[in-house]
Amino acid sequence: MMEEADKCHIVMYPSPGRGHLMSLVELALSLLRHHSCLSVTVLISSPPHLLPSITPYISSVSSTTPSIAFRHLPSVSLPPSLSPAPTAFSDDPAMYFEHARLNNPNLHQALSELLSASKPSQKPKALVVDFFYGSGAEVAAALRLPAYYYFPSGMNPLAAFLYLPTLHKLTDTSFKDLDGNVDIPGVPSIPAKHMPSRMLDRSSRIYGHFLETSMRLAGSAGLISNTFEALEPRAVKVISEGLCVPDGQTPPVYCIGPLVAANDHISGQDCLSWLDSQPSRSVLFMTFGSMGVFSSKQLRDIAHALERSGVRFLWVVRNPPPDDEVWRNLAIKPEDDPGMDAILPRGFTERTKDRGLVLKSWAPQVAVLSHDSVGGFVSHCGWNSVMEAVCTGVPMIVWPLYAEHRLIRAYLAGEMKLVLSVAETAGGFVTTDELAGRITALMCSEKGSQVRERVAEMRNAAREALSEGGSSRAAMAKLVDSFKSGMM
Ligand code: UDP
């Protein structure tokens, strides 16, 4: 029997949206697997229109893991000026920051109730907040509860966020208007215009949110990141030595990854049967996170590149954005479905039907990457996708699109030589020649084999990190000790 005094209750506070919730619950599950002294309450603040996408997941976790309790906060509405359409919510991180602030009174109420539990072991010892819900840390501070940040990306982007207040003081020009490179301790030198996209314009509201959150990170009880030390040794060392926060303290950093949450039940299971009929490691998989969309011109060039390279492929295609020419040309509204044949080159599906499969919108990525027939992955460099490719040992071509993708690319391609990368034009366009060349290099050349070997080494390092005595397991143990100590 465990002593009451050994038990430790913590609260996790994800921002709305399935991906963020799953990430934090995955963290909880991973901690619980090795530390049965823990119990976790997850506070749900998702607005009503997002609930259908998370309720089945919550039910399945609740039924298998009684140590995780879910508690819904009362719903709050964003002012209409910030939320032109309810579905826009999940695409815009500025709204997460605003939503978090509006939710703070509800968070205060929920934490106060939990803290008033009669048994000391049921009183929360810590709050773990999602990066985008950072203002929740103010509520924790008011209640004298230590707040830890869960940073869902790697150490290289974390270094950039921690160093942002310093960069902010060094210049009053926006990164988008700066020529030359930005030097951040522990991170490859990158062109200023390749900084995380939401940091580019310092007059924007979102830049202000990021700056504020970056300052808060440094004042927290700890920073938890979904990475592992062997993947980003330089950034881990430099952050831990305090070089990214020259004017203050750096909290302890816990690299507890890789955490991989399976998104697999959503749709597209048929593609797994198709993969069963393909030769081992022959298929190139191409999908671009939850938000990657391309113009119809770019989609046609991707299709031409796939035809020219001659490789087998599984390609997830989404409709072009509402301002694309395709809607004008077809004289239909962006909410109407133009059909694949109207977007892709004439006859493409027919010509490639023996070696390719095009899926609409979404594939069960983790299951696809785990399939033996998949031999390469074209990805936008989203951190979850990087972790999933590393864990399954699938070599990547990276094509950064938004957020901190260019910074991650600079590290993975430039410094680690762990991935191949496409070269974009200044407008972000990737030509048929460029993409076809990279695909052939990855799938059919010695260079591709070297990348495959490097990724396999990293997959082994990831397994080691998560095994008994590994760095991520040690970081989890330290984190749990820190929760138990209740130190601010
Ligand atoms: N994903 C998926 N199928 C798709 C595209 C994405 O299952 O067709 C999942 C993917 O496995 C990953 C997440 O969605 O877990 C995307 O996260 P990531 O950090 O890579 O990119 P983001 O969407 O945050 O830009």
* Residue 85 φ/ψ, nearest 5 degrees: -140, 140
* Residue 118 φ/ψ, nearest 5 degrees: -70, -40
362 Cα nearest atom in ligand 1: 8
pLDDT for the residue 384: 94
Give distance in angstroms: CA of 177 to centre of ligand 1: 30
How far is Cα 358 from Cα 361, in angstroms, rounded to an integer?
9
pLDDT for the residue 261: 81
Q: Which domains does the chain have, with CATH numbers?
A: 4-261+466-485 (3.40.50.2000), 269-463 (3.40.50.2000)
Structure tokens at 397: 């071509």
Q: Are strands 181-182 and 190-191 parallel, antiparallel or unpaired?
A: antiparallel
Angle at Cα 58 formed by Cα 53 and Cα 64, nearest 5°? Answer: 145
How far is Cα 26 from Cα 24, in angstroms, rounded to an integer?
5
Give distance in angstroms: CA of 384 to centre of ligand 1: 6
pLDDT for the residue 75: 87
pLDDT for the residue 265: 57
Angle at Cα 127 formed by Cα 126 and Cα 131, nearest 5°? Answer: 140
pLDDT for the residue 369: 97
pLDDT for the residue 279: 98
How far is Cα 373 from Cα 282, in angstroms, rounded to an integer?
6
Q: What is the DSSP letter of 250?
A: P
Prior bond to 258 cis, omega within 30? yes
CA-nearest of 241, 312, 240 to 278 is 312
pLDDT for the residue 305: 98
Residues 6+ apart with CB under 8 A from 411: 154, 156, 187, 188, 232, 235
Task: Establish whether residue 287 lines the binding site of ligand 1, counting it when its CB lies within 6 angstroms of any ligand atom.
Answer: yes
Ligand 1 site-directed mutation target among 359, 379, 384, 386, most atoms within 8 Å of CB = 384
CA-nearest of 38, 52, 45, 43 to 16 is 45
Q: What is the pLDDT along the chain (488 residues), one digit of tens a residue?
A: 677 778 999 999 998 878 889 999 999 999 999 999 999 999 999 888 888 888 999 999 999 999 999 999 998 877 666 655 555 555 667 788 888 899 999 999 999 999 999 988 899 999 999 998 889 999 999 999 999 999 989 999 999 999 999 999 999 999 999 999 999 999 999 999 999 988 999 999 999 999 999 999 999 999 999 999 999 999 999 999 999 999 999 999 999 999 998 665 556 678 999 999 999 999 999 999 988 999 999 999 999 999 999 999 999 999 999 889 888 888 888 788 888 888 999 999 999 999 999 999 999 999 999 999 999 999 999 999 999 999 999 999 999 999 999 999 999 999 999 999 999 998 899 999 999 999 999 999 999 999 999 999 999 999 999 999 999 999 999 999 999 998 77
Give distance in angstroms: CA of 324 to centre of ligand 1: 23
Report the SS3 class of residue 36: coil
Give distance in angstroms: CA of 259 to centre of ligand 1: 13
Residue with CA closest to ligand 1 atom 8: 362
290 Cα nearest atom in ligand 1: 23
Give distance in angstroms: CA of 287 to centre of ligand 1: 8
Is 313:306 a contact under the CB 8 Å cutoff? Answer: yes
Give distance in angstroms: CA of 327 to centre of ligand 1: 26
Task: Establish whether residue 404 lines the binding site of ligand 1, counting it when its CB lies within 6 angstroms of any ligand atom.
Answer: no
Report the SS3 class of residue 94: helix
Task: Establish whether residue 358 lines the binding site of ligand 1, counting it when its CB lies within 6 angstroms of any ligand atom.
Answer: no
How far is Cα 409 from Cα 468, in angstroms, rounded to an integer?
31
pLDDT for the residue 487: 75
Angle at Cα 14 formed by Cα 113 and Cα 252, nearest 5°? Answer: 95
Ligand 1 site-directed mutation target among 150, 365, 390, 394, most atoms within 8 Å of CB = 365
153 Cα nearest atom in ligand 1: 19
Task: Establish whether residue 289 lines the binding site of ligand 1, counting it when its CB lies within 6 angstroms of any ligand atom.
Answer: yes
How far is Cα 431 from Cα 439, in angstroms, rounded to an integer?
12
Instruction: Tell me the residue type at 303.
Output: A
How far is Cα 388 from Cα 32, in angstroms, rounded to an integer?
21
Task: Establish whether residue 366 lines the binding site of ligand 1, counting it when its CB lies within 6 angstroms of any ligand atom.
Answer: yes
How far is Cα 441 from Cα 436, in angstroms, rounded to an integer?
9
Give distance in angstroms: CA of 382 to centre of ligand 1: 7
Q: What is the DSSP letter of 244?
A: T
Strand partners for 285: 314, 377
260 Cα nearest atom in ligand 1: 15
Angle at Cα 469 formed by Cα 472 and Cα 385, nearest 5°? Answer: 30
Residue 115: in which H helix or E strand, if any?
helix 93-115
Residue with CA closest to ligand 1 atom 2: 365
